[in-house]
């Protein structure tokens, strides 16, 4: 089983993807490869559509096409190779990522909705992202695309801000303008925060994966503890 994990879009090239695949022995008779890519670049932003692993995407702008090429570059030849792609939402963890940038203003009581606030915010705790990748490696029946997001897919950005403030015991009502978000996070990462999608992990759940943090409140409390 090969395992490849990619967190950001910038600088990603097909050759780099191939070089980043790290090989490890699979089960006897179970040759496979697993990779992780950011789902926000694959599914088209929408306030109404719901996306599962079979939904179309990857062809509406530069970054969506890049992710499509990324997935193709990570794919190994041969029908006998079991292949899994995990499309990850915004990863919540104690180190790095979106939380690192948002923690200080929220601790100071200056946090709030990002941009308009009504956009969906597909998220996942870092422990569950690692768990889904491990599940894909260990469970021989898992193949194809898995959405690496929490089951609470109806979370909006404003709801996330409120829950984050609650986890810190701080108010969270000061909105962060879109221009500031782009300046702080960069255009590519800002897309994940400003232009959300309602993404459901239908196949991920169907494979039998059990989430450690299916609910936002518990996930954020663990992150800020």
Q: Which of 84, 89, 94, 99 is nearest to 31 (CA)?
A: 84
Range name among 8-12, 86-90, 147-151 with the lowest pLDDT average: 8-12
The answer to pTM > 0.75 is yes
Q: How do the domains of the chain map onto residue ranges?
A: 2-224
Q: How far apart are CA 90 and CA 97, in angstroms?
A: 8
Q: Between these two residues, 166 and 15, which has the higher pLDDT value?
A: 166
In this structure, the chain runs to a length of 225
Range name among 108-117, 149-158, 161-170, 184-193 with the lowest pLDDT average: 184-193
CB 117 within 8 A of CB 181: no
Q: Torsion over CA of 86, 129, 33 and 206, rounded to 10 degrees?
A: -60
Please determine, for residue 132, whether its predicted confidence score (pLDDT) is greater than 90.
Answer: yes
Full DSSP string of 141-207:
T--EEEEES-S-TT-BHHHHHHHHHHHHT------B-HHHHHHHH-HHHHHHHHS--EE--HHHHHT
pLDDT category, 31, cuts 50, 70, 90? low
pLDDT category, 6, cuts 50, 70, 90? very low
Please determine, for residue 97, whether its predicted confidence score (pLDDT) is greater than 80.
Answer: no
Query: What CATH number should be reported for the domain whose range is 2-224?
Result: 3.40.50.720
Structure letter (DSSP) for residue 117: S
Query: What are 133-158's pLDDT values in tens digits?
Result: 999 999 999 999 999 999 987 899 99
Q: Torsion over CA of 207, 130, 21 and 7, rounded to 10 degrees?
A: 110
Residue 38: helix, strand or coil by DSSP?
strand
Q: What's the pLDDT at 82?
A: 86
């Amino acid at each position: 089983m090969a395992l490849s994990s990619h967190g950001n879009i910038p600088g990603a090239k097909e050759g780099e993807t191939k070089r980043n695949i790290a090989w490890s022995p699979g089960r006897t008779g179970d040759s496979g490869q697993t990779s992780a890519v950011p789902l926000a670049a694959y599914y088209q932003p929408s306030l109404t559509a719901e996306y599962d692993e079979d939904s179309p995407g990857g062809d509406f702008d530069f970054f969506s096409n890049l992710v499509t090429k990324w997935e193709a570059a990570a794919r190994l030849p041969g029908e006998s190779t079991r292949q899994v792609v995990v499309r990850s939402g915004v990863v919540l963890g104690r180190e790095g990522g979106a939380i690192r940038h948002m923690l200080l203003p929220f601790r100071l009581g200056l946090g709030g909705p990002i941009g308009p606030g009504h956009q969906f915010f597909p998220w996942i705790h870092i422990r569950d992202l690692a768990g889904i990748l491990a599940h894909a490696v260990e469970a021989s029946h898992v193949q194809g695309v898995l959405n690496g997001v929490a089951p609470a897919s109806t979370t909006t950005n404003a709801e996330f801000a409120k829950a984050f403030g609650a986890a810190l015991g701080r108010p969270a009502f000061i909105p962060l303008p879109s221009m500031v978000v782009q300046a702080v996070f960069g255009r590519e990462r800002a897309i994940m925060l400003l232009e959300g999608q309602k993404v459901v992990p239908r196949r991920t759940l169907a494979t039998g994966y059990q989430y450690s943090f299916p609910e936002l409140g518990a996930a954020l409390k663990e992150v800020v503890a």
